Amino acid sequence: MKFGIVVFPGSNCDIDCYHALKDTLGQDVEYIWHDTEEVKEYDCVILPGGFSYGDYLRCGAVAPFSRVMDAVKVHADKGKLLVGICNGFQILTEMGLLPGALVRNKNLKFICDTVALKVENKETPFTNRCTHGQIINIPIAHGEGNYVVDDEELEKMKKNGQILFTYQENPNGSVLDIAGICNENKNVLGMMPHPERACEDLLGNDDGKFILQSIISFLEGGWKSE
């Protein structure tokens, strides 16, 4: 299976995703420069964390205009997997590929910590190796991870099982403690926590593998939506 990681000016966690997928999980991974036009060959495209274009106006506001993003959108429209982590999640909401928006943390401070997440729906390409209600510990590192969305959309998301991860102790003020969501079609994931930072015992935690291995299982055909 082939993963592609988009590198924007200001991406920081591109290299972390690369190492987690390649060194720890043995996958085929390539970087995709923001100024390229095609992303045809990838089974899963990842928009990594960081501060794309400095994140100066709003987080993730400028990245959607990068040259590569038209192709990324086509990739997602075809039903292939697209994952946005942290800044990538912010970019996906700015593009309208995921509902809602991410605003400043309730305490107005950047927070770097490891938090407990509850898996709310295991029937997706991103969570199939988890158990329902499983608690996994995943690091967060963001200043604007406070998820907001209107009530109508929220109801729809609940009904469709689009809420995938919630915080056990809400760090940032997100509505319904939301940490990660997917689109209606369940092929686009956005989450503030960083699974790629939790893939090795040496770093004290490998719970992130539950998520990355779910993706690999799905791509290998080991799991089909019911």
Partner 1 sequence: MKAKVYVTPKKSIADPQGNAIGRALNKIGYDKVEDVRIGKLIEIELGQITKEEAEVQLKEMCEKLLANTVIEQYSFEIE
Partner 2 sequence: MNNYDAVGLTRDEYDRIIDYIGREPNELELNMYGVMWSEHCSYKHSRPLFKHFPTSGEKVLQGPGENAGIVDIGDNLAIAMKIESHNHPSAIEPYQGAATGVGGIIRDIFAMGARPIALLNSLRFGEIEKYDRVKYLLEGVVEGIAGYGNCIGIPTVGGEVYFNSSYNGNPLVNAMCVGIIEHDKIHRGNASGVGNSIMYVGAATGRDGIGGASFASVELTEESEEKRSAVQVGDPFMEKLLLEACLELLDTGSIVGIQDLGAAGLTSACCETATRGEGGMEIDVLKIPRREKGMHPVEVMISESQERMLLIVEKGREREVEEIVEKWGLHAVVIGKVTDNDKLVVKEGEKVVADIPAESLDSSGAPKYYSDYQVPEYYKEAKKFKYNDIKEPTGYNEVLLNLLKSPNIASKEWIYRQYDHMVRTNTVVKPGSDAAVLRIRGTKKGIALTTDCNSRYCYLDPREGSKIAVVEAARNIVCSGAKPLAVTDGLNFGNPEKPDRYWQFRESILGISEACRELDTPVISGNVSFYNETDTHAIHPTPIIGMVGVLDDVEKACTMYFKSEGDIILQLGETKAEIGGSEYLSIIHHLETGEIPFINMAMEKRVQEAILEAIQRGLLESAHDLSEGGIAVGLAECSMEKGLGAEITLNTNLRRDLELFSESQSRFLISVKPANLDAVARILEESRVPFRSIGKVMGNKLQIVMNQETVIELPVAEIEELWRGAIKCLIE
Residues that bind partner 1 (CB under 8 A): 53-54, 56-57, 62, 65
Who contacts 4 (Cβ-Cβ below 8 Å, separation ≥6)?
29, 30, 31, 32, 39, 41, 42, 44, 45, 46
Asked if 142 is an active-site residue, the reply is no
118 contacts which partner out of partner 1, partner 2, none, CB within 5 to 8 A by kind? none
Indicate the Cα dihedral angle 172, 144, 19, 225, nearest 10°: 70
Least distance CB 20 / partner 1 (angstroms):
29
- Cβ atoms of residues 59 and 33 within 8 Å: no
Burial of 56 (0-12, 13-18, 19+ CB in 10 A): exposed
Which one of 95-103, 107-115, 146-154, 177-185 is the stretch in contact with partner 2 (CB under 8 A)?
A: 107-115
The helix (H) or strand (E) run that includes residue 40 is none
Measured between alpha carbons, how far is 180 from 166 in angstroms, rounded to an integer? Answer: 7
Minimum CB distance to partner 2, residue 190 (Å): 19
19 as an active site residue: the answer is no
* Total site size for partner 2, rule CB under 8 A: 31
CA-angle at 14, arms to 46 and 111, nearest 5° = 95
Nearer to partner 2 among residue 120 and residue 207 (C-beta):
207
Does residue 189 bind partner 2 (CB under 8 A)? no
Query: Could you confirm whether 86 is annotated as catalytic?
Result: yes
110 belongs to the binding site for partner 2 (CB under 8 A): yes
Q: How far is the CB of 181 from partner 1 (least distance, A)?
A: 27
User: Where do the DSSP E strands lie in 9-110?
Assistant: 28-33, 44-47, 81-85, 101-103
Catalytic residue among 44, 86, 130, 199: 86
> Which residues form the catalytic set?
86, 194, 196
Query: Binding residues for partner 2, per CB under 8 A?
Result: 9-10, 12-13, 15-16, 19-20, 49-51, 53-56, 109-113, 139, 141, 143, 194, 196-197, 199-200, 202-204
